[in-house]
Amino acid sequence: MRCRALWAIGLALAVSGASAQLKDLDPDWKESDLPEPPAFDVTRVIDLDMPRHMTVKLGVDPETIRVTSDGLVRYVMVARSPGGTVNATYEGIRCLTAEVKVYARYTANKTWVPVPDPNWMSLRHLQGSTHALAFARQGACEGRSAVTSTPQAIVKKLKGNEINFQHK
């Protein structure tokens, strides 16, 4: 009887801490080297399905999507305002842990400025825009992995608008 009680307590603790342990699935994981931000073109952008109240259009230039050997999806996210202003960020998503990192921001003088000491942030608890979560659900991630590990598969999924709600 005592063994069952201890087993039940252990199981409850394991389940409650499961999400916190996602980062520890591979304690030796190391992020691959970061290349320079790729050039993007506003005319190629595939828009994301975002809430209707948003006036800014958000999308990804498909030519900038890269799936790395360490399981990251890197891309340029482009934001276009109704007035014609264009902003962009160079980002990466780690589907396994449901995290995003912003590496650089595109400035008004058309240059990339690296983010000082970028950190991984949870897709579920982002402050501000939820564009990275939308990209993860709509194309970048299939559960906890990158969609078949090719940019072409991600683009196909984005164009097909097959929304994936695995990361609730």
d(CA 106, CA 83): 18
Spatial distance between the Cα atoms of 97 and 77, rounded to a whole number of angstroms? 20
Under 8 Å between Cβ of 80 and 86: yes
Distance CA 1, CA 7 (A): 10
Q: What are the residue boundaries of the structural domains of the chain, listed by start?
A: 34-160
pLDDT range class, residue 18, cuts 50, 70, 90? very low
User: In 3D, which of 162, 166, 151 has the Cα closest to residue 65?
Assistant: 151
Residue 45: pLDDT band (50, 70, 90) is very high
* Amino acid 69: pLDDT: 87
Q: Answer for the pair 44, 62: CB distance below 8 angstroms, yes or no.
A: yes
pLDDT (mean) for 111-136: 87
Mind listing the pLDDT tens digit for each residue in 55-107? 899 999 999 999 998 889 999 999 999 988 899 999 999 998 899 999 999 98
Query: For 138-149, how does the pLDDT look when each residue is reduced to its tens digit (9 = 90+)?
Result: 999 987 766 566
Top-level class of domain 34-160: mainly beta
Classify residue 66 as exposed, middle or buried by CB count within 10 Å of its CB (0-12, 13-18, 19+). middle
Nearest Cα residue to 125 out of 92, 100, 153: 100
Using alpha carbons, select from 56, 30, 31, 29 the residue that is nearest to residue 45: 56
